[in-house]
Copies of this chain bind each other. A is one copy, B any other.
Amino acid sequence: MALLDENRLFSVEPALRDRARGLYDTVRDLPIISPHGHTDPRWFAENAAFADPAALFVTPDHYVFRMLHSQGIPLADLGVPRADGGPVEGDARKIWGLFAANFHLFRGTPSWLWVNHALQEVFGVTQRLNATSANAVYDQIAECLTRPDYRPRALFERFNIEVISTTESALDDLRWHQMIKDSGWGGKVITAYRPDAVVDPEFDGFADNVVQLGALTGQDTTTWAGYLAAHRTRRAFFKTYGATSSDHGHPTARTEDLPQDVAARLFERALQGKCTGDEADMFRGQMLTEMARMSIDDGLVLQIHPGSWRNHSRDVFARFGRDKGFDIPTRTDYVRALHPLLNAVGGRSDVTIIVFTLDETSIARELAPLAGVYPALKLGPPWWFHDSAEGMRRFRETATETAGFYNTVGFNDDTRAFCSIPARHDVARRVDCAFLATLVATGRLDADEANEVAHDLAYGLAKQAYRL
């Protein structure tokens, strides 16, 4: 039995399905460009075997464990590590069994597709995951993981990844990237500059982090000028490990373009831990504009991932820490929020700002009109809860008529679930081809144009936008 339908995500109408399929056949085997994500560079550095099926599919995947949690399964029973290091379930087979027995919860969700894709295409599983098949599937995956062709580098090559970007803190020493470099392996694994720890006054240990940034860069980060110089130095360091972008995950999309003396005083308050909530937001906003100005000089693409209320459950945050499924999107106003940034640099063609959204209502109303006129601004692909067939369809339907295709930047998988990467890119390619086929079949695009656009969406735009 096949877990996957060969024509999945195409239209059901036969002629339209064939058209989508035909487009898809021209892009399905293109290399994967993965310009934004959260895989662990250590995998590729050490190239050690993955531990077990649960460690690969359950424990690190917040899509998976949050859904199980929503139906009353405690996180500890799924092996999710506790913040205090206390005991959690350690029996991988038991965790896998819980997952398998509850796999019906994922019906209609992207995880259903991603997991089935990985099971079938990566591990050759042909039986559906459930309580009955749990052990057999576990064994099959576990056996694979012992083999050299299931080591991270082998999978990287098998997945046909042309380039993948990880994301590291500005304070990271990039040792794993150095180790990859030193290894002589040809896989292109690059980093991205993620300075939350040193640009967010509300980040744990902000002031100490800024001191550490100074130490790492030899700059005097007690002054605004030195602090900015330290960022420039550190960005240059990241560039030596292939970085072509920075990334910023702020609670709001707020930007600022304050006079430098005002910004300097705000920085001082931030260092002293005196910022109000609003001032902290203002400082983060100022730093987006500063980063954009640095981008003009060093060419790093600026990515903004705003609008998530992090750690909504105080209890789960206290017990399990960050990234446990309790990050909930909120309404985000881009028109006012991006005004300072866009007035500072939005008219330039020598800087690229990629904005992502968790608030789909903003696409047709705000983001497509903004990206459809400011040269610097591009729309990031459907993100997180919208990295799904319906989310991608809605993105194209609401973005394209105003922003076109060429103010978008292809697909990001944005994942830490390595085996889901081919599945995610495959979903994006299928949905985009289905969309293009519909445009052609309804007289809104010519067939040869659709071929070009399909290639651009699957490959070309990501390479170009991220300067890869």
Contacts and interface: CB of A to CB of B under 8 A. Distances in A.
A133 B439 CA distance: 23
A58 to B, nearest CB: 15
A274 interface: no
A366 B405 contact: no
Interface string A361-377: 10011101111111101
Nearest to A397: B390
Interface in A1-15: 4-13, 15
A25 to B, nearest CB: 16
Interface string A432-450: 0000001101111110010
A325 B402 CA distance: 11
A276 to B, nearest CB: 18
Contact of A445 (B108, B364, B386): B108
B12 A12 contact: no
Interface stretch (A224-232, A283-291, A328-336): A328-336
Which of A71, A371, A374 has the most CB atoms of chain B within a 10 A radius of its CB?
Answer: A374
A240 interface: no
Contacts of A361: 331, 360-361, 365
A404 interface: yes
Contacts of A442: 5, 7-10, 12, 389
B404 A108 contact: yes
A249 interface: no
A375 B364 CA distance: 30
A381 to B, nearest CB: 15
A109 interface: yes
A316 interface: yes
A453 B67 CA distance: 17
A153 to B, nearest CB: 31
B360 A9 contact: no
Contact of A104 (B72, B360, B449): B449
A130 to B, nearest CB: 10
A195 interface: no
A343 B72 CA distance: 15
Contact of A346 (B7, B128, B313, B339): B313
Interface string A48-79: 00000000000000000011011110000000
A165 interface: no
Contacts of A398: 390
A467 interface: no
A335 B329 CA distance: 8
Interface in A374-421: 374-375, 377, 385-386, 388-391, 396-398, 400-407
A330 B333 CA distance: 8
A450 to B, nearest CB: 9
A330 B407 CA distance: 20
A401 B388 contact: yes
Contacts of A339: 312
Contact of A401 (B8, B110, B343): B110
A347 B401 contact: no
Contacts of A203: none
Nearest to A10: B442
A105 B404 CA distance: 6
Contacts of A327: 369
Contact of A70 (B9, B112, B407, B446): B407
A15 to B, nearest CB: 7
Q: Top 7 nearest A-B pairs by Cβ distance?
A: A8-B443, A5-B443, A72-B349, A108-B400, A388-B401, A66-B373, A325-B373
Given A104-B406, A113-B443, 20 more contacts: A9-B442, A66-B373, A70-B371, A71-B375, A105-B406, A107-B405, A108-B444, A109-B400, A109-B402, A112-B444, A112-B445, A312-B335, A312-B342, A313-B343, A330-B333, A330-B365, A359-B365, A368-B385, A369-B385, A390-B400
